[in-house]
Structure 1
Amino acid sequence: MTRQFAGKTAFVTGGGSGIGRASALALAADGALVTVAGRTTDTLKETVRLIEAAGGSARYVVADVTDEAQIEHAVQDATAGTGRLDIALNNAGYDGEYQLTKDYSSQLLDRMIALNVRGMFLSMKHELRYMTAQGSGAMVNMSSGAGLIGVPGFSGYAATKAAEIAMTKSSALEVADQGIRINAVCPGLVDTPLIADLDPEYRASLGASHPLGRIARAEEIADAVVWLASDKSSFVTGIALPVDGGYSVP
């Protein structure tokens, strides 16, 4: 059976762990040649190893998305050998920490703006240059449910995630007539090593706060990424898709 991304190239920022790794594995399983980018060589190598062990094709490039020269080079690497960029997942970002607005650290806010807003903007900028030149492409931006609703103690984080959604919608309108679709995924809490290390009772309370009664697996978010990157969502662009177990429902 032909895999739906056979012959296509994909680029994933923040591909060394969590949602980025799960998405890279899922895209590769469907036939894409995946290039994962991030700042930590060991985790990127492990993602490539897992993809290859499952029979897929992958490579990695070390890059800081806040550095324009580095992300430009990383996108170039992703197109090496094919000259194409068919799928881009902009997943790199920073979650921050709980701080009330009146006590919010300016340094923390600057860090989140640099990674979440500037990093995604620069990634999109250089990815779109390839996609517009070839007249096709599917881009997925990893935002958060926090960009859709208020989250006490995370005002700075929520602001950057709302900015990601605004960039997604604006850019989607710019290129809608050029064969390119851009969408965002807005997860709720996802089962990551950070969550796994929490106190069991607190972890249980986090799951209970989602109407479906649990937090997500990274693979469930990756499923949404694959759908938005595929022809099965060919009439979908400019959306911010909640994948949050009902958490953001009014």
Structure 2
Amino acid sequence: MSRTILITGGSGKFGRVLVAHFLAAGDTVVTTCRSDQSRVSLQSEYSGIERDRFHVVQTDLTRANQAEELAAALRELRLAPDCLVNNARSVEYLALKENGRVSRSDFAGEFLMDVIVPYELTMELVEAQGSALRRIVNIGSIYGLVAANPSLYTDPVRQSPIHYGVAKAALTHLTKELAVRLAGRGIDVNCVAYGGVEGRVDEAFKARYGKLCPKGRMLREDEIAGPVAWLLSDNCSGMTGQTLAVDGGWSVW
């Protein structure tokens, strides 16, 4: 049975993989992006998909009231998502000062994208008239479960900013809180904490990563979508409030 799935951050590395997977599965997909360039790129990439099965909404979720505006856009499209994947983020907030410290604004910005935006969008969709929402997956990180290992990096302070992991840890707890608060509405809320994924690092980094991970390698892009697809399926209807570590065993030692 076809579902309607809202995936935020569809122009990013994870977002593109997830959009492609669920469109291929026959679902109707709505995704968000910040720039007009990203919107045009996404629409062009999937120009062969039936127009009523793929929609791109351009929105800046860092701005106030954007959850309400996104919900209004969904109403205009006459779509009520069954599933929500909170995936949007902004690398702009990972910048550090010259002394290696995080500015107050960047710390707040990372927390905004990883915690406040998922909360606001979730509640907006839950409380929308005619809501069909049943499953939510938050896209997290192993650094929300464990601290960064300095041995992985040549410059740990700058290559693994402290506020990224702190915000992802808060997202893990938000998942638990929402699972409890929304259980009575029949909504499951879970999180996937991913390990490092190939594609943006050099061979030296991959080699260091492999020595620190039981599987001996980073994740491949083709390993991203499966866990989310499972959490959005009826096969895990008894699971809520959990964070699934998809990390090649990174967090077990």
**TM-score bucket (shorter structure):** 0.7 to 0.9
Query: What does residue 23 of structure 1 align with?
Result: 18
Structure 1: tracts of 5 or more residues without a match: none
CA distance in 2: counterparts of 1:171 and 1:21, whole angstroms:
26
Does residue 1:87 correspond to 2:78, yes or no? no
1:36–1:44 contact (8 Å) kept in structure 2 = no
Gap change, CA 1:75 and 1:25, over 3 Å in 2: farther
Which residue in 1 is equivalent to 2:209?
206
1:136 Cα shift?
A: 4.5
Select between 132-141 and 35-44 the one with higher mean Cα deviation: 132-141
C-alpha spacing 1:227/1:51, structure 2 compared with 1 (3 Å): farther
Match of 2:163 in 1: 156
Residue in structure 2 matching 1:226, options 226, 229, 234: 229
The aligned length equals: 240
Structure 2 unmatched ranges of 5 or more: 151-156
Matched, 1:173 2:173: no
Quick one: which of 9, 13, 20 aligns to 2:8?
13
**Change beyond 3 A, Cα 1:182–1:47:** same
Which of 34, 38, 57 matches 2:29?
34
Match of residue 44, structure 1, among 39, 42, 61: 39
> Judging changes above 3 Å, is the alpha-carbon distance between structure 1 residues 136 and 61 closer, same or farther for their aligned structure 2 residues?
closer
- Residue by residue over 1:58-96, the C-alpha shift from the partner in whole angstroms, topping out at 9 and shown as x without a partner, is 110111222242232223323544442201100012452
Shift of 1:174: 0.9
Contact kept in structure 2, 1:112 and 1:160, CA below 8 Å: yes
Cα distance in 2, alignment partners of residues 128 and 158 from structure 1: 27
Per the TM alignment, residue 55 of structure 1 is displaced from its structure 2 partner at its CA by: 6.5
- Secondary structure of the corresponding residue to residue 156 of structure 1: helix
1:160-181: per-residue Cα shift (whole Å, max 9, x none)?
0011111111011111121211
> 2:216, 2:96 → 1: CA distance?
23
Partners of 2:67 and 2:131 in 1: CA distance: 20
| Partner Cα separation in structure 2 for residue 65 and residue 166 of structure 1 | 21
2: distance between equivalents of 1:219 and 1:76? 33
Take 2:18 and 2:173, find their aligned partners in 1: how far apart are those partners? 23
Q: Secondary structure at the match of 1:216?
A: coil
TM-score (ref. length: structure 1): 0.84
Match of 2:109, SS? helix
The 8 Å contact of residues 183 and 238 in structure 1, kept in 2 or not, is answered as: yes
Equivalent residue letter for 2:30: T
Q: 1:33 to 1:184 in 2, by over 3 A?
A: same
| Larger mean Cα displacement after TM superposition, 112-121 or 49-58 | 49-58
Percent identity between matched residues is 28
Structure 2 length-normalised TM: 0.84
- Range with bigger deviation, 230-239 or 200-209: 200-209
- Give the AA of the match of 1:226: A
